[in-house]
Chains A and B, each alone.
Chain A
Amino acid sequence: MRITQGTFSFLPDLTDEQIEKQIEYCLGRDCSIGIEYTDDPHPRNMLWDMWNLPMFDVADPKAILHEVNACRKAFPNHYIKINANDATRGRETVVLSFLVNRPPHEPGFRLNRQEAAGRAIRYTTHPYAADRPAGERYRE
């Protein structure tokens, strides 16, 4: 399966050149860019690991792309995303977030059903990969 989190997951994976253009757009909106990675892609895992702090004072898209590639090199089999943080009053959250790396094989999620009272079912979404310890979940 292909996890479709992030703004551009229905498009073919973005090239570095395309990623750089999106970074330029974010910088043009005065956003700071953060890189985050994980091997637990549960849809409600909102705390991915940070690749350093958001780059508050970096204005060069190439420097940010360089960091993306450094993160890819360190975690080639993880999900990696770029988040653009907008500090404008009243927004103060992420305004663009898209994947820039994914594991070569994505086993996806098991849906566990627990039969409850009446016809109700309690659902749990479980990433197959999470059965293994963190850091060993996705392999070549």
Chain B
Amino acid sequence: MNHKPNGTERYRAGVIPYAKMGYWEPDYIPKDTDVLAVFRVTPQDGVDPVEAAAAVAGESSTATWTVVWTDRLTACDVYRAKAYRLDPVPNTPGQYFAYIAYDLDLFEEGSIPNLTASIIGNVFGFKAIRALRLEDMRIPVAYLKTFQGPATGIVVERERLDKYGRPLLGATVKPKLGLSGRNYGRVVYEALRGGLDFTKDDENINSQPFMRWRERFLCCMEAVNRASAATGEVKGHYLNVTAATMEDMYERAECARELGSAIIMIDLVAGYTAIQSMAKWARKNDMILHLHRAGNSSYARQKNHGINFRVICKWMRMAGVDHLHAGTVVGKLEGDPLTVKGFYDTLREPRTPARLENGLFFDQDWASLRMVMPVASGGIHAGQTHQLLHYLGEDVVLQFGGGTIGHPQGIQAGATANRVAVEAMIQARNEGRDFLKEGPEILERTARWCSPLRAALDTWKDVTFDYASTDTVDYVAVATSTY
């Protein structure tokens, strides 16, 4: 298989296996400047896994289904992606991790759309493979340096907000659809006045008949400014500027800026180009950019096909968002603790070493790209504060939507309960207490003087979402290459 055919043999018209076209190079040593990807490949019955891996390399770079002589007009050896390693997935017959290296010059500088058009462009529909999942990527420093990265980043966000040393607190306005502008503003004011730092539009709040976008923006900014004056704190509401066209999005973002908003948001479904455009706009206009990962579970959740969310985390850090929803571990949405740690580290660390237990296949140096603030949202409440702090750390936005607005004593009380719980847990952690173990007791003791927290604990104390995760990591302590 490693016999290199001469030019006449290699380029004779017809169809030859991808592995023989040069897309399988087990001796290849990846360069520091290569883009690396690892795919989980499920070949069709009877398809040799090496050929499947080579086909993935081929179809995500230069190949087509047949030999073309025009290859010989190019430095085709450079442009061919190379599958260089193939490991069976531990305990999963029929699936393989295929490692593929791509030369830096295959990609346009600073363009997520161009990167993804290669890596996930055609290849996922390829017939010879039954399923394909992009598990992880290593982006070389040389390529990272062509990206802006987060418009604001964790450090500058905290300096702008003047909030340090604790998770930030947010809530999504509920019900997510149907409130008028005035009623919507009421929810925002109550939540911020009670102690939250942020409130948030939901992913599907744009400009509907029940509340057009300008009404929402005006009412929310009244609420933000009133709450700020009532507390002496910087407050914010993520104004969702997602719309049908870039022109509409810019118009909404400009309006948010003119009204003095500190933060806007967009949805992942807006697309990579729109996200990169808004990130540049946000950097230029001193705006924090929140990204809701709307749509991701349609391709990120199943283990055998799609894109692992850790790759989306990487792309979004490069694209330049400041906030990204990345799981709660304990809440209502998918998230196994080890996998979620991989997402959080990818967003927040200056470099992430390869750690298979967290699904990180490669060493990744982030080359001073700013840090993205992860957002934990969906089915979390004050009674889980110790677990949230343990799993997610302090650089995170904890979004208690129902856990604020559903409080029996009202929204302000719900917000106060969350804020008090977080501050008390941070105090205990800093004092050296084993806060994960003693968490329930710390909350109980705090609730003796804080009746909103008492009510929150009583209302939600037994609420857990204890289901098996779909997306878990497959690894053994030492992976060995078998091909």
A-side interface residues toward B, CB under 8 Å?
A: 1, 3-5, 7-12, 18, 21-22, 25, 41-44, 46, 83-84, 89-98, 108-111, 119-123, 125
Contacts A11-B424, A97-B165, A120-B258; is A90 near B233 (CB within 8 Å)? Answer: no
List B contacts of A3 (CB < 8 A).
231-233
B419 nearest in chain A by CB position: A10
Interface segment, one of B40-48, B218-226, B456-464? B218-226
- The answer to whether A7 touches B164 (Cβ under 8 A) is yes
Known: A5-B233, A43-B232. 7 other contacts (CB 8 A): A3-B231, A4-B233, A11-B420, A90-B155, A94-B164, A96-B165, A119-B214
- Residues of B at the A interface (CB closer than 8 Å) are 155, 158-159, 162-166, 195, 214, 218, 221-222, 225-226, 228-234, 258-260, 350, 368, 371, 416, 419-420, 423-424, 426-427, 430-432, 449
CB of B164 within 8 A of CB of A12, answer: no
Is there an interface contact between A97 and B164, defined as CB atoms closer than 8 Å? Answer: yes
**A1 and B230 contacting across the interface, CB-CB below 8 Å:** yes
Q: Are A108 and B230 in contact (CB under 8 A)?
A: yes
- List residues of chain A with CB within 8 A of the CB of B230: 1, 108-109
Pair B423/A8 contact, Cβ less than 8 Å: yes
Give Cα A120–Cα B259 distance, bound, in whole angstroms: 7
Which of B231, B233, B258, B260 has the most chain A CB atoms inside 10 A of its CB?
A: B231
Cβ–Cβ contact A108 & B218, under 8 A:
no
A125-B229 CB under 8 A given contacts A10-B419, A91-B155, A93-B159: yes
Nearest Cβ on chain B to A124's Cβ, whole angstroms: 9
CA distance A108 to B231 in the complex (A): 8
Q: Are B427 and A90 in contact (CB under 8 A)?
A: no
| Residues in B neighbouring A120, C-beta threshold 8 A | 218, 258-259
Q: Which residues of A contact B163 (CB under 8 A)?
A: 7
Whole-angstrom CA separation of A113 from B386 in the bound complex: 41
Smallest beta-carbon distance A133→chain B, Å: 20
Closest 6 CB pairs of A and B: A96-B165, A3-B232, A25-B430, A111-B229, A123-B225, A109-B229
Among A5, A25, A94, contact of B432 (Cβ-Cβ < 8 Å): A25
* Chain A residue, CB-CB nearest to B418: A10
Cα separation A21 to B165 with both chains bound (whole Å): 15
A95–B232 contact, CB under 8 A? no
Q: Across the interface, which residues of A come within 8 angstroms of B449, CB to CB?
A: 12
- A125 CB contacts on chain B under 8 angstroms: 225, 228-229
A108 touches B159 (CB 8 A): no
Contacts of A18 in B (CB 8 A): 427, 431
CB distance from B196 to the nearest CB of A (A): 11
In the bound complex, do residue A11 and residue B259 qualify as a contact, i.e. CB atoms below 8 Å apart? no
Complex contacts, B350 vs chain A, CB 8 Å: 89-90
Residue of B nearest to A23 (CB): B430
Which A residues are in CB contact (< 8 Å) with B158?
93-94
A-B contact list, 9 entries, CB within 8 Å: A3-B232, A4-B232, A7-B164, A10-B419, A12-B449, A43-B233, A44-B234, A90-B368, A120-B218
Is B165 a contact partner of A111 (Cβ separation < 8 A)?
no
Q: Given A7-B423, A18-B427, A121-B222, are A95 and B164 neighbors across the interface (CB < 8 Å)?
A: yes
Of A41, A92, A95, the residue contacting B165 (CB under 8 A) is A95
Interface centre among A25, A41, A90 (most CB of B within 10 A): A90
Tell me, in angstroms, the Cα distance from A15 to B121 when the chains sit together: 60
Is there an interface contact between A7 and B166, defined as CB atoms closer than 8 Å? yes
Q: Are A10 and B221 in contact (CB under 8 A)?
A: no
A53 to B416, CA, bound (A): 35
Distance of B465 from chain A, by nearest CB (Å) = 27
Identify the interface centre among B155, B163, B232: most chain A CB within 10 Å of its CB: B232
Query: Which residues of chain B have C-beta atoms less than 8 A from A123's C-beta?
Result: 221, 225, 260
Shortest B324–chain A CB gap in Å is: 18
Q: Which of A5, A21, A108, A122 contacts B162 (CB 8 A)?
A: A5
